[in-house]
Amino acid sequence: MKAERSRQMKRTILTIDIGGSHVKMMTSNGRIKCEFESEPDLTAKEMVRKVKALTKDWSYDVISIGYPGPVCGNRPLREPFNLGAGWKGFDFPKAFGKPTRVVNDALMQALGGYRGGRMLFLGLGTGLGSAMIVDGELEPMELAHLPYLKGKTYEDYAGKAGRKRLGNKRWRKHVADIVGQLTAALEPDEVLIGGGNVKHLDKLPPKSRRGDNADAFEGGFRLWDQTGVDARARVR
């Protein structure tokens, strides 16, 4: 057991965070980071090619991937809304030639910011990411496309397009309302609000805290070390 633990501690993890505007990468050893723009026609094969090219001089043993959509059996369950085709069912471990764990990108961010108990994560980015962690158990969620107002979804109001359409003042009111609705329904101990657009919130809703840009990378590292998650789940 000690030998296995020692081997895991020495293992270098590459975390890949696939977003609607950028694909970001970082290693656990040395925290080397780089990124490239994710064009609307970006395919899974092209993403792998670009990552390999940018990290050709990096050394890593295993990979974590945060994918912007549902994941089942370590593979994307459907095509992403804001990228190209060829993602559904894509075999990332085979493409990279290394052990790879694929999870929903919101779940990976949630894991990186988790402190214990029942936590709801909402990611304000190109869309609206969502996940829960309950006493260390990871629960990916797809709340973004549930109906909200006037035939539109939560994502239509809380996502990037919603902020552009509504303006910051009205967008903030809807974000607060959405967080309130989901908090009442899911009863988390706290809400972690992350994503690139959290910076546009001047005041956070009750029971909420602001996520960090590094949460996605930290979550990717923790995917290969469940003991860290279990320890936080025991702290109340």
Across the range 116-131, mean pLDDT stands at 95
Across the range 52-66, mean pLDDT stands at 96
- From residue 159, alpha-carbon distances to 26, 208, 212, 213, 224 in Å are 25, 18, 18, 17, 30
pLDDT at 10: 76
- From residue 201, alpha-carbon distances to 118, 148, 168, 182, 194 in Å are 23, 20, 8, 18, 11
Which of 115, 103, 87 lies closest to 17, judged by CA?
103
- From residue 164, alpha-carbon distances to 91, 130, 147, 156, 228 in Å are 35, 21, 20, 11, 38
Across the range 71-99, mean pLDDT stands at 95
For 178-203, the pLDDT digits (tens) are: 999 999 999 999 999 999 899 999 99
Average pLDDT, the chain: 91
Which of the two residues, 2 and 90, has the higher pLDDT score? Answer: 90
DSSP strand pairing (22-27 vs 147-149)? unpaired
**pLDDT tier, 235 (very low <50, low <70, confident <90, very high otherwise):** very low
For 167-176, the pLDDT digits (tens) are: 999 999 999 9
What residue has token string 């279990």? Answer: 230
Query: Could you tell me the pTM of the whole model?
Result: 0.88
Q: Are 143 and 185 spatial neighbours (Cβ–Cβ below 8 Å)?
A: no
The two three-digit tokens of residue 26, written as one number: 């970082």
b or e along 161-178 (b: 16 or more beta carbons within 10 Å of the residue's beta carbon)? Answer: ebbeebeeeebbebbbbb
- What are φ and ψ of residue 155, in 5° steps? -65, -35
pLDDT at 20: 81
Across the range 84-94, mean pLDDT stands at 96
The two three-digit tokens of residue 54, written as one number: 């940018």
Angle of CA points 231, 234, 236, to nearest 5°: 125
pLDDT at 124: 95
Q: What is d(CA 115, CA 100) in angstroms, rounded to the nearest whole number? A: 25
For 3-44, the pLDDT digits (tens) are: 444 445 579 999 999 988 899 999 999 888 999 999 899 999
Whether 51 shows a pLDDT value over 90: the answer reads: yes
pLDDT at 82: 83
Q: Are 178 and 158 spatial neighbours (Cβ–Cβ below 8 Å)?
A: yes
Whether 100 shows a pLDDT value over 80: the answer reads: yes
- What are φ and ψ of residue 172, in 5° steps? -60, -40
